A and B are shown apart, each in its own frame.
Chain A
Amino acid sequence: MEFSEHIKTANVEDVVLRQPLHPPLRGTLCITGHHLLFSDREEDEGRSSGQVLLLLRNIDAVEKRTSGSSGTITIKCKDLRVLQLDIPGMEQCLNIARSIETLSCLDCVSEMFPFFYRPSELNLQDQWGLSSPEEHYRQATELHNRWRLSSVNRDYSVCPTYPRAVVVPREISDDMLVKASRFRQGGRFPVLCYVHRKNGMVIVRSAQPLTGANRKRCKEDETLLQAVIGGSDKGYVIDTRSAQQAQQARMTGGGFESKSCYSQWKRLHRHMERGKALQESLIKLVEACGDESSNMDRWLSKLENSKWLSHVQTALSTAGLLAECVERDGRSVLVHGSEGTESTLLVSTLAQLIMDPGCRTLEGFLALLEREWVQAGHPFQQRCAHSAFSHARLQHESPVFLLLLDCAWQLWRQFPLALGFSEALLLRLADEAYASSYGTFLCNSEQERSVAGVREKTHCLFQALLRSRHRDSYCNPLYERTELAIWPSVHPQSLQLWRGFFLRWTPQTRLLEEAQEEIRNMIVEWEKLVMS
C-alpha cells in the first residue's frame, strides 16, 4: 500500500489552525498516511498544547474555500469537533484537502491505522479481548445443566455474523441448529445472551424468522424455542418492529413467530427506528447543536424535531419492558427485529445493564459490549463509516452504537451511584467506534476480523482501556454496587440531551468535565488519607 501516492503535499509551513476552546495557532501542517499533524512554530519544551495529532479516519467532511493565493480548509470530525486550517498557496491547499478526502475514507481494512499502531507499552502478544464465548460459558456454571456450548459455527459457515461458539439449549443438536439457522435471516438462529441469576430466566436473541408470504414453518426452530422455556408455560417474544412492519416483512421473505406455531410464546411489538432514520436524526441533532446563528429561540423545537431523544426514550423503554418480563414477570424472552444486529443488540444490552450489577462495573460493561456488540456481529465498519457531517451519500451508516452509549449515559445520570464507569468512558467509546488506533471496532463480524488478522496484528481497545494510566478517569468515584435493578424513568422530562457529547466542544461542557475531574480527585485524596 502506498499512501504516498495520495500525498502530493506532505508539509506546509505557516498554516493557521483554528479549533474550539483554543486560541488560533500558527505552525507547520503535515499529512501522513493516517494522521494530520500540526505543530506550533514556537515550540517550547514541555508545551504540548501547540501540537495537534488527528487521526484522518476521524475526519467526516472536508470543505475547502480558496481566495486569491491562499485557501481555507474546514475539517469536521466524527467526534463533532470542527477545525479550520488557513493554508498559504492555493495548490497546497487543494492538495491537502484531496489527501484528507482520500485517506480519511480508505475502505481496505488492512490499510487502516490499527494495523500500524505499535505503542511501546503494548505488546501484540498480550491477551486480545476480555473474554471468549468459551470462557464466558465456562464461568456461567449455573447454565451448564440446561445449556451447552456449540461450535457448530466454528468455520462461520452456519452464520457468518456469529462468533465461533454460541450457547444453545442442551437438548438441541448441532444438526438441528443448522436447520434452524436456515429459517432465520442471515442464519442468526436463537442463541443465549443472558441468564438472570435471581430466577434462572434467560434472554435469547436472533434474527427474524423467514416465514414469508406462505407462512413457512420450521420444526427445529420451534423445538429450539420450546427448549428455551423448558418446563415453563410461557415466554415472551419482543419484536423491535411494529406489528404492521412485521406483517409487511413477510412479503420480502421475513416474518414473525405466529401464535399458532409458537403457542407458548406471547409476542410484544415495539417499534424502534433504525438505519437511515436514526442517521438522519443524528444529522438533524448535530446541525441544531452547531447552529451558531443568534436566534436560539427555537432550540427546544429543533431538539424535538431531531427526534433523537425520542429514540433514546424508545430504546430505554423497550429495554425496560424486556427487563420487566424477565425480572418482574419471571419469563424468558426472545428478542429480535429483522436482522438482529441493531435494535436487538441495543435492547438486550440495556436490559442487562438494568438488571445485572455485574454488567455495571467498568470491566463488566466493557465485557458486555464485547459480547453483545463485537462478538454478536454489529457491523461497526458499515454503521460508523461516517457520522453527522459527511457529504457522502448515506449507505449503511447508522448511529445505533452511539444511541446505546447515550442510553447508558441516561442511566448513569439517573443512577449516579449504580454504574462503575464514568462519562469519560462513554465519550472515549463514542470516539473509538468511529475512528480508532485499536482493532476492536474494525470490520463487521468475527469472521471478517479473523480473515483480516485483527487479533494478531492490532491492539485491543478494551485491554488498553483497563490497563491505561487513565483507568481511574474511566471509573465513577461515587460508585456503590447495588444488587437491585435500576429502572430508568423514560418520560421526556427525565431524559436529557447528552451535552457532554453533543455540545462537547463548548467551554461550558469543558468546565463541567473539569469539575467532574476535580470531584474525582477530591474523593480519591480523602480516601487515601483517611484509609492510611
Chain B
Amino acid sequence: MALLHSCRFLAAPRLAAAARASSWWSHVEMGPPDPILGVTEAFKRDTNSKKMNLGVGAYRDDNGKPYVLSCVRKAEAMIASKKMDKEYLPIGGLADFTRASAELALGENSEAFKSGRYVTVQGISGTGSLRIGANFLQRFFKSSRDVYLPKPSWGNHTPIFRDAGLQLQAYRYYDPKTCSLDFAGAMDDISKIPEKSIILLHACAHNPTGVDPRQEQWKEMAAMVKKRNLLVYFDMAYQGFASGDINRDAWAVRHFIEQGINIVLSQSYAKNMGLYGERAGAFTVICSDAEEAKRVESQLKILIRPMYSNPPLNGARIASIILNTPELRKEWLVEVKGMADRIIGMRTQLVSNLKKEGSSHNWQHITDQIGMFCFTGLKPEQVERLIKEFSIYMTKDGRISMAGVTSGNVGYLAHAIHQVTK
C-alpha cells in the first residue's frame, strides 16, 4: 500500500470510520467572501434605494448603467452576420487578437514588435494572463521565488502568485500621509531588492491607489531596476482608461523595453473595451530574439493546456475586430477617452461637492489620482459606517471606484463622506 505521508493525514481506520458516517468534506473550512467581488454581492442584497456600488471596477455611465461600447456592438453585429464555425482556437489563442494586442501595448514602431522577439498568448482577461505568467515564472525563472508587489497592490495579486507557488514581498509605494507616491521610499526599497528577483509594476492607473509615477520617475525606476537586474512584470489593465490616450498609458511599458529590459506583461480588455464577462486578455514575454520566443511559446502552451485547453473565442474576436478594423479602432479610441473623461469629471465634482459640504480636509488627491479608482484615505471604521449607514459600498481599504459615481449621486457621496470624516 502506498504511504500517504501528508503531515496532516489522519490515521486510516479513523478516517475510514469517519467517512462511513459523514462527508469527505467535514473538515473543509468555509472560505471568506472575496474582498472585492464580495462587495457587489453585499450591495445586491441591500434594499436601500440610495445605495451605491463603488466596489468592483466596472465602468458605469452617468445613469449608473453598464455601458456597452458602440464599437463593441458593431463588432458583434459583424460577427453575427458572418455565421462562423465554433472550432477550437489554438492553445495560444486567436492569432489576429494576440498580434494586435502586442502591437497595442508595444506600439507599431516598437523594435521588439517588428523584429518578432516577443510571444503573446491569449489569456482569460487580466487574471488569467497574470496566472499564466506566474505559473511560467514559477517553472522557468529559477533565480528567485520572490515577487515584489507595490504596497498596496490589487488584492488578487497576492493569492494569484501564491497559488502559482511564488512568495510575496513588497516595496513602498503609496504614502498615506500625502495620498500620493512615496517615490523616495519606493526607490530606496527597490535598490535593496535582491538581484534577479521579480518586481511587479502597474503600467498605469495603479490599483487601488490611482497614483502613478510621472515619466521622469519611471525613468529613474527603469534605471534602478536595470541596475538591480530584476525581472519586470507589468500589469496593464487600464490602457486608454487612465489618461484617455492609449500611447500615453503605455509609455512606461514601452520605455522599459527601449531601455533593454525584457519585460513580461499581462493585458486586460475588461475595462477599456467593456468586455468584462467575455474574458479577453493577453500575456506577453519580450525575448532576446524570435527563436527564443518560439521556445517560450511552446512552454506557455504546455502550461495552458492542463488549465483549460484553449481560450474562449468571443471576447478575443470582438477585440480583434475592433483593433484591426480602422474605423472601429478610431471609434474605440474616442469611446475610451469618453469613459476616461467622465471619470475625470466625476473626480472634480466630488471634490467641489466635498467643499460645498464644508469639509475642511484636503481632498486634492481625488483629482490628482488617475484611472478608475480613488484611494480616499478613509479608515476601515469610516468605510464600515459608509456601508452600514449610507449603503455606500467599497472595499475595506477605502478604495472607491469612480466609475460608479454619477452626477446624480456624487452629492450624496460627498455628503456621506463628510459625515464620517468631519
State whether these chains interact: no
**A interface residues, Cβ below 8 angstroms from B:** none
